[in-house]
Amino acid sequence: MHNLSKTEWLLLVLFMTLLAFPLQYICRSLDMSTLTSWRWVFAGVEPARVFIPVIIAALLLIPLSRALLPEKYPVIFLFVSAMLSTLPFLNSPEILLDSARYFLQAKYLAQHGIQEFFREWGREIKPWTDLPLISFIYGLLFKLLGEEKIVIAMYNGLLFSFIPVLTYLTGRQLWEGSTGFIGGIFIMASPYLFTQVPLMLVDIHTVFFLLLAVCVFLYTLQRGGLLWSSASAMAIFLALCSKYSTWPMLGVLGIIVYIRMNSHPRTVLKRSMVVALLTFCLLGIMYLWKGPVILQQLHILRTYQLGGLKRWQEGYLSALFFQAHPFIILAALFGIYRALIKRDRKILILGWFVALVFILELKRVRYLLPLLPFLALTGAYGLQAIPHNQVRRYIAYCSMVTAVVVALLVYKPFLDSTSMANLKDAGTFLDTLTSEAVEIYCLPQGRSVGNTSAAVPILDLYTDKIIYQEQSWNSVEGLQKAQNVSLRFTWELQQPDYHRLNKFSGLKLPLVIIASEPIFNIPHDLKKKYPAATLLRQFTKSSGVFRYQTLISVFQPL
């Protein structure tokens, strides 16, 4: 392979780029993803819709890959590329019910203030297994910029744009700038990742804060000083406060210390101990604040979530072959081989994450996202064996553009067609009504054990109307049925008091029915209050592949 000329390399990469998508499409029945499985997203899509743009892009990228400017200004190029790539997805609907938890927690802060938020965390605010950092950030955004979905989407897009930059900086610290640059581009070679950017969830934050902790820790070991040590401790603390899954992942910092002990071991050990001490001080404060709540959450994770990981699986093939471009895993495998040949101990960083994935049996794409930057950097390290800079850039550009094309032309239309998109459309419609408030009534799900009322907070995110709901969210029967399923939390959500304002009690408001099927008449339980009503609008999008459905009917009382 080393004897290939640059032209031969480019032709080989072009051939593999044009081969990758048809191979993925032909094998799409093997994709067990539960959100954007290729079995579903391509059900009504002609492959030519993707293949033709990929061909055109792959040809155009050959001359573009010759340009040296992007690699001369890697931070600007990576940040702008990531931001531009996410813009088409900012208006995507919330597609996961987990968003309801973060919305309720964030709205509590927006209404009651920061001090009350921290006081009531674990009491009035039922956190499930969520840590407070991300809800705190969302709540601040609501308080400062308004309770708007676009605010969350734009903020997440901005945060995501820093992930390739941090990947570059981390790669530059571990190896050199070219490896970091290619790794930063590889981050954008996951079509699945783009679908997560606009969502009111924690996954993008988890990737960002974990990567930030690793990057700042590397700089601290190199430069030392109280300022860098404090920044590193704070970055680690933020990662620990974003999601419990980052706790074992941050064991990678010990691997980094071991790697850096090659040179100036006493200095490295001293600096790492200072960071550890400062971090434990912050954790001690957190434990004194909410120790019992944290222990209760860890109990839930051990008794429910850990066992659930073995049931809620999608498989490694889905994550590494379909939800990320195959070039990443191929390059990473070669990077591992190259590191073993050269006895490069930095490969232990990826080894730590791979070990966690297998030990904890993390076979769900969302849980594997924090691994992506380190897999990308390993792939970038592997590509350094190719002697031509243009070829390395061309491989990375082709994988990124292919992923963006798949995400934009296939994933996004599919997610826009799901029943969860009805909440967004209905919210926009409700804002056109003259009434100050609307009444919500939820009917049980037909095929899912999830609680229909969990969709109400997401509808609240999309409308400025006051939501009134007399109906209780929880039931003992529903919770018992959902004890061992992933939607158990939908029955444990606490209905906020602002949904039961007395001033709307007895008033005939526009009535919104959320159900798993179209509703054409007022439900029997509401006939006394609404003896006659006109059906104003129905929102009945449904992809047909998910059991949990949110179809909406809006009635105007007569």
Q: 304 and 426: one domain? A: no
Q: Could you give the number of structural domains in the chain?
A: 2
Q: 273 and 400: one domain? A: yes
Q: 491 and 534: one domain? A: yes
Q: How far apart are CA 359 and CA 223, in angstroms?
A: 34
Q: 385 and 455: one domain? A: no
Q: 498 and 371: one domain? A: no
CB 522 within 8 A of CB 544: no
Residue 515 lies in domain: 421-557
**Counting beta carbons within 10 angstroms of the beta carbon of residue 423, is it exposed (0 to 12), middle (13 to 18) or buried (19 or more)?**
buried
Helix or strand run (H / E) with residue 468: strand 466-468
Q: How many CB atoms lie within 10 A of CB 527?
A: 12
User: Does 137 reside within a domain?
Assistant: no
When pLDDT is cut at 50, 70 and 90, the band that residue 311 belongs to is: low
User: Does 100 reside within a domain?
Assistant: no
Give the pLDDT confidence of 120-160 residue by residue, as tens digits: 999 999 888 899 999 999 999 999 999 999 999 999 999 99
User: Does 267 reside within a domain?
Assistant: yes
User: Does 394 reside within a domain?
Assistant: yes
User: Does 102 reside within a domain?
Assistant: no
Q: 27 and 168: one domain? A: yes
Q: 242 and 335: one domain? A: yes
End of a domain among 385, 416, 447?
416
Q: Is the pLDDT of residue 1 over 80?
A: no
Q: How far apart are CA 330 and CA 395, in angstroms?
A: 11
Q: Is the pLDDT of residue 361 over 80?
A: no
Q: 365 and 503: one domain? A: no
* pLDDT value, residue 2: 63
Indicate whether this model's pTM tops 0.85: yes
Give the pLDDT confidence of 459-517 residue by residue, as tens digits: 999 999 999 999 989 888 888 888 888 888 999 999 999 998 888 888 899 999 999 99
User: Does 128 reside within a domain?
Assistant: no
Give the pLDDT confidence of 239-263 residue by residue, as tens digits: 999 999 999 999 999 999 999 988 8
End of a domain among 381, 416, 451?
416
Q: 377 and 494: one domain? A: no
Q: 274 and 330: one domain? A: yes
Give the pLDDT confidence of 296-310 residue by residue, as tens digits: 999 888 888 777 666
User: Does 104 reside within a domain?
Assistant: no
User: Does 140 reside within a domain?
Assistant: no
Task: Map residue 535 onto helix, strand or coil.
Answer: strand
What are the φ and ψ backbone dihedral angles of 538, each rounded to 5 degrees? -125, 145
Q: 214 and 339: one domain? A: yes
CB 305 within 8 A of CB 98: no
Q: Is the pLDDT of residue 101 over 80?
A: yes
Q: 535 pairs with which residues across the strands?
A: 555
Q: What rounded mean pLDDT belongs to the chain?
A: 93
Read off the amino acid at residue 217: F
Q: 410 and 474: one domain? A: no
* pLDDT value, residue 308: 65
End of a domain among 372, 401, 416?
416
CB 367 within 8 A of CB 245: yes
Name every residue whose Cβ is closer than 8 Å to that of residue 209 and which is 6 or more positions away in sequence: 133, 235, 238, 239, 242, 246
Sign of the alpha-carbon dihedral angle for 82, 412, 374, 270: positive
